[in-house]
Amino acid sequence: MRGLMAKPSGEIIETPIISNFKEGLSVLEYFNSTHGARKGLADTALKTANSGYLTRRLVDVAQDAIITEEDCGTEKGISMRAVMNGADVVVSLSERIMGRCASIDVINPLDGKTIVKAGEMFDENNTEAIETAGIDEVLVRSVLTCEGEHNGICAKCYGRDLARGTEVNIGEAIGVMAAQSIGEPGTQLTMRTFHIGGAAQKGAERSHVDANIDATIEVRNQNVVKNSEGLTIVMGRNTEIVLKDKKGHEKATHRVPYGAKLLVEDGKKVKAGDKMAEWDPYTLPVITEKDGVAHYFDLVDGVSVTDDVDEATGITSKKIIDWRSQPKGGDLKPRISLLDKKGKVINLPNGLPANYYLSVDTILSAENEQEVKAGDIIARIPRETSKTRDITGGLPRVAELFEARMPKDFAVISEIDGYVEFGKDYKSKRRIAVKPANADDGEPREYLVPKGRHLAVHEGDFVRKGDPILDGALVPHDILDVMGVEALADYLTNEVQDVYRLQGVKINDKHIEVIVRQMMQKVEITEVGDSTFLVGEHVERSEFDEIIAKYESEGKRPPVGKPVLQGITKASLQTRSFISAASFQETTRVLTEAAVQGKVDKLFGLKENVIVGRLIPAGTGAYTAGVKRIAAERDQVILDSQPQPEEETLEGANDAAALSAADTSAPEEEAKEAANG
């Protein structure tokens, strides 16, 4: 018996197939059964092609990442901590740092002894010591922060060669290895986009915070009120619960969202497993900040509000509809205001009137003219993330991340710490400003936000740098501009790993880091200095660094630039080598541009060397290239030390050339004779 079958769209067909193949299937059952099987085969064929293309793009972008030296001597690194999902450890710290090198000394907080010196590798023994010492964050060397010469990567920043378990050799083509490690499991990933209905795929959204150890609580940025049920409601957006052990060391920090119920108090003790706060994961509450009477304004039945019946529960609720599309609704501003006993609008602590403007799809929780206390929920806004949206499963998601595409409903994040102010409304957009909290941050930053989308902040809220102003999917370019390289690498690594973990595939983080490094090879010029660059021009990072070093030594003003993130296809087409780019895609365009610009290919990568038929600069080829370079340098020294003759006659020079030609051709002729003999 085949049981339940899935439609091609991924939904399940209600009628199961109850006959087995021996009895024979009815026409409908046979159709459904074949349909499912055929879809599986078609999917597999598409998946193989798609996965192969992803691998090809990855190999192309990373083919010139080669280990060129032992140690670049950088003191930079990225911080690593365990990957958590709520209170569960998904990947432990020791797993993540295994086979990497320490960036600074790792010191045991219990006895002050050094467990791992800077530059040493974390292996099975010392990672265990780190776990037992209770260290939860370690700074490790990474290819993202490597300062190897000529865009090379050093062995210390890469760490262990995962194929052999020893330190990586010079000349190892780690780029190709990273690309294949990410591309190879691609065929195991699904192509379908999942409709997340409930907790089937990724586990339900988080709805509470538990203590993972016995600890003392500290509540930071505490901004709470007691509501009419006597519960403590969080009113700030930066409230954090910090867990401290007996010695006062911070063990964990949990951020509590706006509108959550706080179940613990500052300074109290909790046991492991105790619930500290809980909230509704699927809606954002609109909460009153003072006592008063809730009064509806511009909530016109059938124009801006309608009765919505929930099919599952049969409960009727009032829901805001898009009033701007209605003929009578042009000038409406649906809102709930808090009035005092005399019927006047109350002023909030920040001096603004207590008007709560409602966006489309908001569900009202308070009746008209109902008395409310501070901390009561008057409306609930469905969270964008928890709608049964398609998560692009598997391959398309990985490709989307590596191509650095703009997501559909993207989030807008704040560039500075500051206070939110609402500007004036336009026809389809509204203006939101973030006024800097400290004067050094300069002017307020303004953002234009589409009106239909829900805001994650209220007027007068304090937001930190990187906090979302508008809910939605994060844009990698914004993360890079606002939070920097490490935050971006962290985001991309976690997002890619989430897809693979869902399918039970293990990939080491450093492979993803190698690809991210290749995606960030360009720098955008923001200030010209004394250079010949133009503002907005994209320059190779290695070239940019050389120019800065040169200008600083000459006492000139160096140019200033910021890192740029490019998708893997774009990065491949804009690489240093035009031969490599031409063999990837759009051959005619790449070659004509290279010809017009008079480009020179230095043949640094693997691909261009294969194409022109030279030895590749990886493996033994790297060693040979080094030997050749040393020999050429020695020859140059000898040539420079010889006294130059005053004026050589032309015939003399020609004779010398003829002699040297005879020298080189002699062995070849001998070899030919030997072969013929």
Do residues 448 and 430 lie in contact, with contact meaning Cβ atoms separated by under 8 Å? yes
For the chain, how far is it from start to end, CA to CA, in angstroms?
Answer: 77
336 and 369 co-located in one domain: yes
Do residues 269 and 214 lie in contact, with contact meaning Cβ atoms separated by under 8 Å? yes
Nearest Cα neighbor of 95 from 170, 160, 174 is 160
Do residues 156 and 478 lie in contact, with contact meaning Cβ atoms separated by under 8 Å? no
Pairing relation of β-strands 153-154 and 67-69? parallel
75 and 115 co-located in one domain: yes
Cα 237 to the chain's mean position, in Å?
23
Q: Which of 226, 248, 281 is the last residue of a domain?
A: 281
DSSP state of 348: P
Pairing relation of β-strands 355-357 and 335-339? antiparallel
Give the CATH number, domain containing residue 231.
2.40.50.100
Whether 102 is in a domain gets the answer yes
Beta bridge partners of 538: 524
Backbone angles phi and psi of 569, in degrees to 5: -65, -45
Whether the per-residue pLDDT at 199 is higher than 80: the answer is: no
Whether 503 is in a domain gets the answer no
Cα 407 to the chain's mean position, in Å?
12
Q: Which of 125, 150, 172 is the last residue of a domain?
A: 172
pLDDT tier at 290, thresholds 50, 70, 90: confident
Whether the per-residue pLDDT at 195 is higher than 80: the answer is: no
One-letter amino acid for residue 270 of the chain: V
pTM greater than 0.85 (yes/no): no
289 and 372 co-located in one domain: yes
pLDDT value at residue 16: 86
pLDDT tier at 104, thresholds 50, 70, 90: very high
244 and 316 co-located in one domain: no
pLDDT value at residue 587: 94
Whether 589 is in a domain gets the answer no
Question: Which of 139-153, 347-361, 492-506 bottoms out in mean pLDDT, i.e. has the lowest?
Answer: 347-361
Beta bridge partners of 463: 418
pLDDT tier at 386, thresholds 50, 70, 90: very low
Q: Residue for token digits 């007691």?
A: 226
Whether 189 is in a domain gets the answer no
326 and 377 co-located in one domain: yes
Do residues 345 and 404 lie in contact, with contact meaning Cβ atoms separated by under 8 Å? no
Helices and strands (H and E) in the chain: how many = 16, 37
pLDDT tier at 527, thresholds 50, 70, 90: very high
Beta bridge partners of 193: 392
Whether 49 is in a domain gets the answer no
Q: Residue for token digits 């193989």?
A: 48
652 and 672 co-located in one domain: yes
Averaged confidence pLDDT in the chain: 84
The boundaries of the domain holding residue 139 are 67-172
289 and 319 co-located in one domain: yes
One-letter amino acid for residue 74 of the chain: T
256 and 321 co-located in one domain: no
86 and 162 co-located in one domain: yes
Whether 75 is in a domain gets the answer yes
User: What's the whole-number mean pLDDT along residues 533-557?
Assistant: 91
pLDDT value at residue 667: 45
Percent of the chain scoring above 70 in pLDDT: 90
132 and 220 co-located in one domain: no
Whether 493 is in a domain gets the answer no
Name the more confident of 301 and 11: 301
Whether 549 is in a domain gets the answer no
Whether the per-residue pLDDT at 614 is higher than 70: the answer is: yes
162 and 78 co-located in one domain: yes
Q: Which of 366, 382, 398 is the last residue of a domain?
A: 382
Burial of 68 (0-12, 13-18, 19+ CB in 10 A): buried
Do residues 153 and 137 lie in contact, with contact meaning Cβ atoms separated by under 8 Å? no
127 and 158 co-located in one domain: yes
Q: Tell me how crowded residue 470 is: count the other CB atoms within 10 A of its CB.
A: 19
Do residues 74 and 148 lie in contact, with contact meaning Cβ atoms separated by under 8 Å? no
Q: What is the total count of domains within the chain?
A: 4
